[in-house]
Amino acid sequence: MEDTLTAPEVATVTQRLWNGAAHVHEAILAHPFLAGLTDGTLPADTFAYYLAQDAHYLRDYARTLAVVAAKAPTHADTALLARHAAETAEVELALHETLLPQLGIDAAALADVAVSPTTTAYTSYLLATAHGGTFADGLAAVLPCYWIYQRVGQSLVAAGSPDARYRRWIDTYADDAFAETVAAVLALADRLVVDAAAESGMHRHFGVTARYEWMFWDAAWRREGWPL
Protein backbone atom coordinates (compact mmCIF):
# COMPACT_ATOMS: atom_id res chain seq x y z
CA MET A 1 0.00 0.00 0.00
CA GLU A 2 2.86 2.29 0.85
CA ASP A 3 3.97 2.00 -2.77
CA THR A 4 0.84 3.72 -4.05
CA LEU A 5 1.32 6.57 -1.60
CA THR A 6 4.93 7.13 -2.54
CA ALA A 7 4.57 6.33 -6.25
CA PRO A 8 6.01 9.05 -8.48
CA GLU A 9 3.29 11.43 -9.65
CA VAL A 10 1.88 10.87 -13.09
CA ALA A 11 2.09 13.99 -15.27
CA THR A 12 -1.05 16.13 -15.11
CA VAL A 13 -3.15 16.95 -18.17
CA THR A 14 -1.59 20.40 -18.46
CA GLN A 15 1.94 18.98 -18.21
CA ARG A 16 1.13 16.57 -21.01
CA LEU A 17 -0.36 19.38 -23.10
CA TRP A 18 2.75 21.49 -22.54
CA ASN A 19 5.09 18.63 -23.40
CA GLY A 20 3.25 18.12 -26.68
CA ALA A 21 3.84 21.75 -27.68
CA ALA A 22 7.21 22.43 -26.02
CA HIS A 23 8.88 22.76 -29.42
CA VAL A 24 6.51 25.61 -30.28
CA HIS A 25 7.51 27.41 -27.09
CA GLU A 26 11.19 26.97 -28.04
CA ALA A 27 10.51 28.39 -31.50
CA ILE A 28 8.72 31.39 -29.99
CA LEU A 29 11.66 32.17 -27.69
CA ALA A 30 13.96 32.00 -30.72
CA HIS A 31 11.80 34.36 -32.82
CA PRO A 32 13.51 37.62 -33.90
CA PHE A 33 10.48 39.63 -32.70
CA LEU A 34 11.33 38.71 -29.10
CA ALA A 35 15.06 39.29 -29.56
CA GLY A 36 14.12 42.73 -30.93
CA LEU A 37 12.08 43.49 -27.80
CA THR A 38 14.96 42.72 -25.43
CA ASP A 39 17.75 44.38 -27.43
CA GLY A 40 15.50 47.31 -28.29
CA THR A 41 16.01 46.98 -32.06
CA LEU A 42 12.40 46.00 -32.82
CA PRO A 43 11.10 48.79 -35.07
CA ALA A 44 8.40 50.81 -33.25
CA ASP A 45 6.14 50.42 -36.30
CA THR A 46 6.38 46.65 -36.02
CA PHE A 47 5.46 46.80 -32.33
CA ALA A 48 2.58 49.16 -33.17
CA TYR A 49 1.34 46.70 -35.80
CA TYR A 50 1.48 43.94 -33.17
CA LEU A 51 -0.50 46.05 -30.67
CA ALA A 52 -3.13 46.94 -33.25
CA GLN A 53 -3.61 43.27 -34.13
CA ASP A 54 -3.62 42.42 -30.44
CA ALA A 55 -6.45 44.87 -29.76
CA HIS A 56 -8.55 42.97 -32.32
CA TYR A 57 -7.39 39.67 -30.87
CA LEU A 58 -8.24 40.64 -27.28
CA ARG A 59 -11.80 41.57 -28.13
CA ASP A 60 -12.47 38.10 -29.51
CA TYR A 61 -10.38 36.41 -26.82
CA ALA A 62 -12.59 37.98 -24.14
CA ARG A 63 -15.67 36.72 -26.02
CA THR A 64 -14.13 33.26 -26.25
CA LEU A 65 -13.42 33.17 -22.51
CA ALA A 66 -17.00 34.21 -21.81
CA VAL A 67 -18.31 31.31 -23.91
CA VAL A 68 -15.93 28.83 -22.25
CA ALA A 69 -17.01 30.24 -18.86
CA ALA A 70 -20.64 29.56 -19.75
CA LYS A 71 -19.81 25.88 -20.38
CA ALA A 72 -17.79 25.36 -17.19
CA PRO A 73 -18.90 22.44 -14.98
CA THR A 74 -18.94 24.33 -11.68
CA HIS A 75 -20.09 27.72 -10.53
CA ALA A 76 -16.55 28.47 -9.26
CA ASP A 77 -15.05 27.68 -12.68
CA THR A 78 -17.63 29.86 -14.46
CA ALA A 79 -16.81 32.69 -12.05
CA LEU A 80 -13.05 32.35 -12.57
CA LEU A 81 -13.21 32.37 -16.36
CA ALA A 82 -15.84 35.11 -16.50
CA ARG A 83 -13.56 37.20 -14.26
CA HIS A 84 -10.68 36.57 -16.63
CA ALA A 85 -12.88 37.61 -19.56
CA ALA A 86 -13.57 40.90 -17.80
CA GLU A 87 -9.90 41.33 -16.85
CA THR A 88 -8.83 40.76 -20.45
CA ALA A 89 -10.88 43.76 -21.40
CA GLU A 90 -9.48 45.80 -18.49
CA VAL A 91 -5.84 44.77 -17.87
CA GLU A 92 -4.80 44.09 -21.41
CA LEU A 93 -6.53 47.09 -22.86
CA ALA A 94 -4.98 49.29 -20.16
CA LEU A 95 -1.59 48.12 -21.40
CA HIS A 96 -2.58 49.17 -24.87
CA GLU A 97 -3.87 52.52 -23.68
CA THR A 98 -0.49 53.27 -22.06
CA LEU A 99 1.60 52.06 -24.98
CA LEU A 100 -0.33 53.39 -27.94
CA PRO A 101 0.18 57.09 -27.11
CA GLN A 102 3.87 56.33 -26.38
CA LEU A 103 4.12 54.92 -29.89
CA GLY A 104 2.32 57.88 -31.37
CA ILE A 105 -0.76 55.88 -32.32
CA ASP A 106 -4.24 57.26 -31.90
CA ALA A 107 -6.38 54.62 -30.15
CA ALA A 108 -9.33 55.63 -32.33
CA ALA A 109 -7.29 54.97 -35.48
CA LEU A 110 -6.69 51.45 -34.25
CA ALA A 111 -10.11 50.27 -35.29
CA ASP A 112 -9.20 51.23 -38.86
CA VAL A 113 -6.26 48.80 -38.94
CA ALA A 114 -7.46 45.78 -40.92
CA VAL A 115 -7.60 42.52 -39.03
CA SER A 116 -4.76 40.45 -40.53
CA PRO A 117 -5.16 36.94 -41.99
CA THR A 118 -3.39 35.39 -38.98
CA THR A 119 -5.45 37.34 -36.42
CA THR A 120 -8.61 36.35 -38.31
CA ALA A 121 -7.59 32.70 -38.37
CA TYR A 122 -6.56 32.56 -34.70
CA THR A 123 -9.66 34.32 -33.33
CA SER A 124 -11.97 32.36 -35.64
CA TYR A 125 -10.47 29.13 -34.36
CA LEU A 126 -10.88 30.22 -30.73
CA LEU A 127 -14.51 31.21 -31.20
CA ALA A 128 -15.41 28.14 -33.26
CA THR A 129 -13.83 25.80 -30.70
CA ALA A 130 -15.48 27.54 -27.74
CA HIS A 131 -18.92 27.62 -29.38
CA GLY A 132 -18.83 24.24 -31.09
CA GLY A 133 -16.74 22.18 -28.69
CA THR A 134 -17.01 20.89 -25.16
CA PHE A 135 -15.76 22.83 -22.14
CA ALA A 136 -12.48 20.86 -22.27
CA ASP A 137 -12.03 21.73 -25.96
CA GLY A 138 -12.56 25.44 -25.36
CA LEU A 139 -10.32 25.46 -22.32
CA ALA A 140 -7.49 23.72 -24.18
CA ALA A 141 -7.78 26.29 -26.97
CA VAL A 142 -7.47 29.29 -24.62
CA LEU A 143 -4.59 27.91 -22.50
CA PRO A 144 -1.59 28.68 -24.75
CA CYS A 145 -2.46 32.38 -24.70
CA TYR A 146 -2.06 32.51 -20.92
CA TRP A 147 0.71 30.05 -20.50
CA ILE A 148 3.01 31.02 -23.36
CA TYR A 149 2.83 34.72 -22.43
CA GLN A 150 3.73 33.93 -18.84
CA ARG A 151 6.73 31.81 -19.93
CA VAL A 152 7.79 34.47 -22.42
CA GLY A 153 7.51 37.19 -19.74
CA GLN A 154 9.61 35.08 -17.35
CA SER A 155 12.23 34.42 -20.01
CA LEU A 156 12.55 38.03 -21.15
CA VAL A 157 12.45 39.84 -17.80
CA ALA A 158 16.09 39.12 -16.87
CA ALA A 159 17.28 40.60 -20.17
CA GLY A 160 14.86 43.55 -19.89
CA SER A 161 15.05 46.11 -22.69
CA PRO A 162 16.73 49.46 -23.28
CA ASP A 163 13.35 50.66 -24.59
CA ALA A 164 10.96 51.60 -21.75
CA ARG A 165 7.93 50.76 -23.90
CA TYR A 166 9.16 47.23 -24.47
CA ARG A 167 10.08 46.89 -20.78
CA ARG A 168 6.52 47.86 -19.86
CA TRP A 169 5.22 45.08 -22.09
CA ILE A 170 7.66 42.50 -20.70
CA ASP A 171 6.90 43.49 -17.07
CA THR A 172 3.16 42.97 -17.58
CA TYR A 173 3.68 39.30 -18.33
CA ALA A 174 6.55 38.71 -15.89
CA ASP A 175 4.37 39.99 -13.05
CA ASP A 176 3.62 37.70 -10.06
CA ALA A 177 -0.08 38.57 -10.20
CA PHE A 178 -0.17 37.31 -13.77
CA ALA A 179 1.60 34.10 -12.71
CA GLU A 180 -1.20 33.54 -10.16
CA THR A 181 -3.84 34.04 -12.85
CA VAL A 182 -2.14 31.43 -15.02
CA ALA A 183 -1.70 29.01 -12.10
CA ALA A 184 -5.42 29.29 -11.31
CA VAL A 185 -6.50 28.43 -14.83
CA LEU A 186 -4.02 25.53 -15.07
CA ALA A 187 -5.27 24.15 -11.74
CA LEU A 188 -8.81 24.36 -13.09
CA ALA A 189 -7.77 22.37 -16.16
CA ASP A 190 -6.05 19.76 -13.98
CA ARG A 191 -9.23 19.23 -11.93
CA LEU A 192 -11.12 18.16 -15.05
CA VAL A 193 -11.81 14.49 -15.48
CA VAL A 194 -11.02 13.71 -19.11
CA ASP A 195 -10.94 10.37 -20.84
CA ALA A 196 -8.40 9.53 -23.57
CA ALA A 197 -10.66 10.71 -26.42
CA ALA A 198 -11.35 14.04 -24.74
CA GLU A 199 -7.66 14.51 -23.98
CA SER A 200 -6.72 13.84 -27.57
CA GLY A 201 -9.10 16.64 -28.63
CA MET A 202 -7.48 18.92 -26.04
CA HIS A 203 -4.02 18.16 -27.48
CA ARG A 204 -5.23 19.07 -30.95
CA HIS A 205 -6.71 22.42 -29.88
CA PHE A 206 -3.77 23.29 -27.62
CA GLY A 207 -1.34 22.44 -30.43
CA VAL A 208 -3.22 24.58 -32.95
CA THR A 209 -3.48 27.68 -30.76
CA ALA A 210 0.12 27.32 -29.50
CA ARG A 211 1.22 27.43 -33.15
CA TYR A 212 -1.06 30.43 -33.74
CA GLU A 213 0.84 32.16 -30.92
CA TRP A 214 4.08 31.74 -32.88
CA MET A 215 2.30 32.82 -36.07
CA PHE A 216 0.92 35.91 -34.35
CA TRP A 217 4.45 37.18 -33.60
CA ASP A 218 5.67 36.13 -37.00
CA ALA A 219 2.78 37.93 -38.74
CA ALA A 220 3.66 41.09 -36.79
CA TRP A 221 7.34 40.67 -37.72
CA ARG A 222 6.34 40.46 -41.40
CA ARG A 223 3.62 43.10 -40.96
CA GLU A 224 1.34 40.66 -42.68
CA GLY A 225 -1.47 41.96 -44.85
CA TRP A 226 -4.00 40.47 -47.21
CA PRO A 227 -2.53 39.69 -50.65
CA LEU A 228 -5.70 40.99 -52.32
Ligand X SMILES: Cc1ncc(C[n+]2csc(CCO)c2C)c(N)n1
Of the residues 2, 145, 180, 224, only one is catalytic, namely 145
Selected catalytic residue, list 9, 26, 199, 213: 213
Residue 119 CB, nearest distance to ligand X (Å)? 8
List the one residue from 61, 135, 169, 214 that touches ligand X (CB under 6 A): 61
d(CA 111, CA 129): 25
Other CB atoms within 10 A of residue 203 CB = 16
Q: Is 64 in the site for ligand X (CB under 6 A)?
A: no
In sequence order, which ranges of the chain are alpha helices (DSSP H)? 2-6, 13-20, 22-29, 32-39, 44-70, 75-87, 93-102, 107-110, 117-132, 135-157, 164-174, 176-191, 196-222
Say whether residue 91 binds ligand X (CB under 6 A): yes
Stretch that binds ligand X, among 7-15, 25-33, 56-64, 190-198 (CB under 6 A): 56-64
Q: Annotated catalytic, 2?
A: no
Select from 14, 88, 118, 161 the one that contacts ligand X (CB under 6 A).
88
105-to-48, 89, 118 alpha-carbon distances in Å: 8, 19, 22
CA dist., res. 150 & res. 30, Å (int): 16
50 in contact with ligand X (CB under 6 A) = no
- Taking the complex as a whole, how short is the minimal distance between the CB of residue 23 and ligand X, in angstroms? 18
For residue 213, indicate whether it is catalytic: yes
Applying CB under 6 A, which residues contact ligand X?
Answer: 54, 57-58, 61, 84, 87-88, 91-92, 145-146, 149, 213, 216
